[in-house]
Structure 1
């Protein structure tokens, strides 16, 4: 019999819940640029719209746009919208984004891709970089499952290189690229994150050539997450600001968020596999760790919960009789 208890955390996706709340706090820093109600949020709501509800309730954003590639269930998506103010745009992101990004105003983009990384995701980043305004954020989540795993453990260097080309296209994979270390999901997360950053920077560099020094655009990485709710995922976010807004950017104080990461070392969102009763007991007892039974709780699980306890989701236990 399989250990079905290991599936509990996957079904409630605690790491994703923690990530959403951290993203909320990153986005809230943008209030130094403009009132958050003046921002437009663009993302992938699916039929659950969890992030849309969170950002509307806590940030007051009313201009919400959800891109949905599934054009066969339009009525269902419209039905599941938690707010009538959410605008649905049906079609592939690469087809929809040119129209949305051309509209003036500060924007928060969170393109939460749920499939394997693909070159079109770099195209999306390029489209956004072409028009994104100072005080806006571009963020993306993507699968970063290791290239070498399971039946793929004997891949040759040429096969690894070919897999990378499939993910990002030949321009980002130099012939003879170092193929060591691809058993680690972190290796792929950093590689894909850097590909997105280079694509943004390429377009912004072109824009800057036509701008006076004070209007030139700067991009700054404000977070880099890695987590797993059944599969390895990563999220990166970049704020864009012009040179004359440097003081405003400093006022945002992104670096004071304990999960802030602006380099290649991701903040890992770790979640313990604990029952609801165990979670409640730790929350009630900490920081008096010595009162927690060593026969029930491991230091690893205690640390995983306590490190992010402010963001850990609250679950209500329903018992059947």
Structure 2
């Protein structure tokens, strides 16, 4: 993974918004399940998630998996906190070589640069074989599912050839096309993690469940089409039903997706809308400066949107 060299996640507004949305809901989950959490993710050179999750969730045990060709010296130099452990291995190696104690309650965000690959499933096997109840698992990837040789979307046969037993038995070509590829990705990931939890349940005599919370689609401006899937591990006696997540309209527990888009407002437009944020802003809509649909979107996510400023120092 070489995103550390090519992408600055701190200046990607849609990604940043998603991060803050998920953080808000995670705060409730962490409070509900209690105890100390460790964070496992990909820090890159900016360590954006790490800074945010430490500051807001007070996590102090953090692991940044870095399998690209950025030097360990450069990564360690750029980490914002000394307690971040940089692990210079590919994700599956880092999760299986004993570098991280996966029996600890964890917040895991596997924020892959890639389209769906077989090692995603290997990572799931490593994680879901050990993670305890209350652990949160999130995966983000490019939702494109194209044959690398032909450049056209996978056929069912292509998918089976690439992913073998991780292919849902009844997967259909309409779940693999460019519009609906996230459906095929979700079904494959869900099938695998549920199989791992079933095996674990049979072995340990405890019924483990994975409660989906996130099913998010977003496109960065002129960038990749991305998909985020995730939730929390519970048991038959431990459920998230007690947690009130109704205030977060981006929570998705089933096949429905949340489509994350940002309105293209100017700073001046935002300032006026904010004054009337809990009422109705008629002036800008009536004057056709902004659309009502954009206004509705803004009101639903304004708390999570970043503001980038050019500051002279």
TM-score range, shorter chain: 0.7 to 0.9
**CA distance 1:254–1:127, change in 2 (3 Å):** farther
2:53 to 45, 52, 55: 55
Residue aligning to 2:110 = 111
Aligned length: 296
Instruction: Compute the displacement of 1:116 (Å).
Output: 1.8
Alpha-carbon separation, structure 2, partners of 1:196 and 1:234: 12
TM norm structure 2: 0.85
For the 8 Å contact 1:109–1:137, the answer to whether it is kept is: yes
Structure 2 residue aligned with 1:136:
135
User: Which of 270, 284, 291 is the matching residue for 1:292?
Assistant: 284
- CA deviation digits over 1:60-102, x for unaligned, max 9? 0111110000244211111110111111011100111122564
Which structure 1 residue ranges, 5 or more long, are not aligned? 1-9
The residue correspondences of 1:67-82 to structure 2 (distance < 5 A) are 67-82=65-80
8 A contact 1:101–1:128 mirrored in 2: no
Distance in structure 2 (CA, Å) of the matches to 1:317 and 1:197: 42
Question: Residue 315 and residue 282 in structure 1: after superposition, are their counterparts in 2 closer, same or farther (change >3 A)?
Answer: farther
**Alpha-carbon distance, 1:238 to partner:** 2.0
Alignment partner, residue 225 of structure 2: 232
Give the helix-richer structure, 1 or 2.
1
**Partner residue of 1:97?**
95
Q: Which residue number corresponds to residue 253 of structure 1?
A: 244
The worse-fitting range, judged by mean Cα deviation, of 268-277 and 41-50 is 268-277
Structure 2 matches for 1:109-258, cutoff 5 A? 109-145=108-144, 147=146, 160-165=155-160, 169-173=163-167, 178-180=172-174, 182-185=176-179, 187-212=180-205, 215-229=206-220, 230-246=223-239, 249-258=240-249
Q: Secondary structure at the match of 2:212?
A: strand
Distance 1:259 1:177, change over 3 A: closer
CA distance 1:181–1:118, shift in 2 (3 Å): closer
CA deviations over 1:20-47 (Å, ceiling 9, x no partner): 1112122212212114xx1000001111
Contact 1:71–1:91 (8 Å) recurs in 2: no
Q: 1:226 is paired with a residue of what secondary structure?
A: strand
CA offsets 1:195-236 (integer angstroms, 9 cap, x no match): 111111111111111333xx3211110111111102111111
Aligned counterpart in structure 1 of residue 303 of structure 2, from 295, 307, 310: 310
> CA RMSD of the aligned region, Å?
2.6
Q: CA deviation at 1:164?
A: 2.9
Conserved 8 A contact 1:222-1:254: no
For 2:5, the equivalent position in structure 1 comes to none
1:250: how far off? 2.9
Instruction: Quote how far apart the aligned CAs of 1:298 are.
Output: 2.0
In structure 2, how many angstroms separate the alpha carbons of the residues matched to 1:265 and 1:317? 38
